[in-house]
Structure 1
Amino acid sequence: MTPDDRRHMAHALGLGRRGMGQCWPNPAVGCVIVRDGRVVGRGWTQPGGRPHAETVALDMAGGAARGATAYVTLEPCAHHGQTPPCCAALVAAGIARVVAPIADSDPRVDGQGFDHLRKHGVEVTTGIGAEQALLDHAGFFMRVSQQRPWVTLKLAMTLDGRIATATGESKWITGPTARGAVHALRASHDAVMVGAGTARSDDPQLTVRGFGPHRQPVRVVVSRLIDVPLMSQLAQSAKDVPLWLCHGPEARSELRSAWEGVGARLIPCQITGGRIDPRAMLRSLGAEGLTRVFCEGGGQLAGSLLMHDLVDELHVFSAGMALGAEGYPGIGALGVARLDEAPRFQLVDVSPAGKDIHHVWRRSKNG
């Protein structure tokens, strides 16, 4: 391993992140091809998952790929799908060395890509950039291992943890810089999810705005009875931007038909304790191909996800105001009686967001 290896892998990882939210159910992979110290090709997984990063980079490199080193952020695929395996494409192009941080845990690959490369005389180096690659591909791996997507929960709250006044007023607790950061987070996820209460009270669009042409995330509304107004912005845009409704079996058939008529997709979900079971719901979303879901609330949905230990990352935007006990709490009831029962997270980052504070937390490794 050399400083150049680390530098080129960091470049490839940065490229791969450009595909986040754009290429599900495929992983967001980056690839950089280097020959004689010069980058001759680079690419990342394209919208919809194809072409793969290696294909894009090899096409750019052309004949310069022969004898070069390919830095790929995940083990090159080894299975025939809608495209030929990338490990075979790298061999055919004459790549002499492949540097990849981690193996692909997908059973269709799982070491077979590395084996194919070595069998055909390609040197394989692993481990460089592994920690970052594991984080970047966490949603893809989670869908493989746990059949559910990675869940990021966003909370925009006052200093005392409130998301609305007693009368329900909530726009805007945080400022424009924080709201811009939220759009960036939406853009890096496959889906944006809210509860029925938020859909009713805020009438949100849940789209990515301010980023130019963009593959919009799926809008997911969790509504046991599908009791969201059919005149909402979500309904009116359902034929243009994907809208999925996670509902229970008791949702009325006429409402189901009406929502399907405006272009929404219905996802039936299991009910536990009178509410949609969040673990079963996420498995249903994983079965549909989602790898990264960005939950924007409200309080009841946030509480349900936290209570069932289903939040992998928290983005909290704190505004310098207080609303008092009569305001709506950002997180619903958790049933915590003792401190050792509380969900715990580790602080990852703190940064200003205009006049607000943005802090990032990830699931605590110590439980």
Structure 2
Amino acid sequence: MRYGLDPRILPTRIVLDPSAVLSPDASLFSTDSEAPVLIFATEAASVERVETLKDVGAQVEIVPQADGRADLKEMLERCWGLGIRSVFCEGGGRLATALTREELVQRLYLFKAPLTLGPQGVLAFGGGGSTPEDLGWSSTGEPIQFGPDLLLKYDREADVMY
């Protein structure tokens, strides 16, 4: 312990890779970090690809597919079973939309930049609303300025907490 502080607990790095195509040479595996790497794949992944990822130190969990995609609820239930109580998702608009649409999110932290990506960009909330408020989320607290960007926080009520 340093200065009477508890040792830091490194967050598990979670990757959603349905076909297990992540390169074993990815920087995720070559950093000096001792943080565990947990990869969620589906039955579509070949046994050889899964074994390759295990060989470079990843824990690989196979989850079923739902509607042609990885079953996100099952993925979060597995996380819970592994002792993971909070997930920070940096997956982009498609994954964020899927998680919110399936009501698997309790709190949103959104960074709003003063620029747009244009017509090729992926919406943060694809279809059915363009803002969290449009989708029934409540803003909590004041925005926090980070340089030119704003951090916004939203909550929703839910019966289940992941």
> Taking structure 1 as the reference length, what is the TM-score of the superposition?
0.38
Aligned twin of 1:265:
59
Show the 5 A alignment for 1:169-184: none
Would the alpha carbon gap of residues 247 and 238 (structure 1) be closer, same or farther in structure 2, given more than 3 Å must change?
Answer: farther
SS of 1:294's partner is: coil
Higher helix share: 1
Match of 2:81 in 1: 287
Q: 1:347 aligns with which of 109, 134, 139?
A: 139
Correspondence for 2:22: 228
Quote the Cα distance in structure 2 between the aligned partners of 1:232 and 1:299: 23
Write the deviation string for residues 277-335 of structure 1: whole angstroms up to 9, x where unpaired.
Answer: 1111100110111111111112221111011011111111111112322223234x45x
Structure 1 segments of 4+ aligned residues over 3 angstroms from their partners: none
Distance 1:238 1:279 in 2: 31
Paired residues in the alignment total 150
Distance verdict in 2 for CA 1:319–1:279, change over 3 Å: same
Matches within 5 A, 1:1-367: 46-47=6-7, 214-237=8-31, 240-331=34-125, 333=126, 336=128, 343-349=135-141, 350-364=143-157
RMSD: 2.3
Corresponding letter in the other structure for 2:107: E
User: C-alpha offsets along residues 224-255 of structure 1, whole Å, 9 cap, x if unaligned?
Assistant: 11111222111324983200001101211111
Q: How big is each residue's C-alpha offset from its partner over 1:254-281, in whole Å with a ceiling of 9 and x where there is no partner? A: 1111111000001111211110111111
Query: In structure 2, how many angstroms separate the alpha carbons of the residues matched to 1:347 and 1:254?
Result: 46
CA contact (8 A) 2:10 2:34 kept: no
User: One-letter code of the match for 2:9?
Assistant: R
Partners of 1:263 and 1:301 in 2: how far apart? 25
Please say if residues 18 and 40 of structure 2, whose CA atoms lie closer than 8 Å, have aligned partners that are also in contact.
Answer: yes
Q: Provide the rounded CA distance (Å) in 2 between the counterparts of 1:355 and 1:297.
A: 22
Identity among equivalent positions (%) equals 26
Q: Which has the larger radius of gyration?
A: 1
Gaps of 5+ in 1: 1-42, 48-213
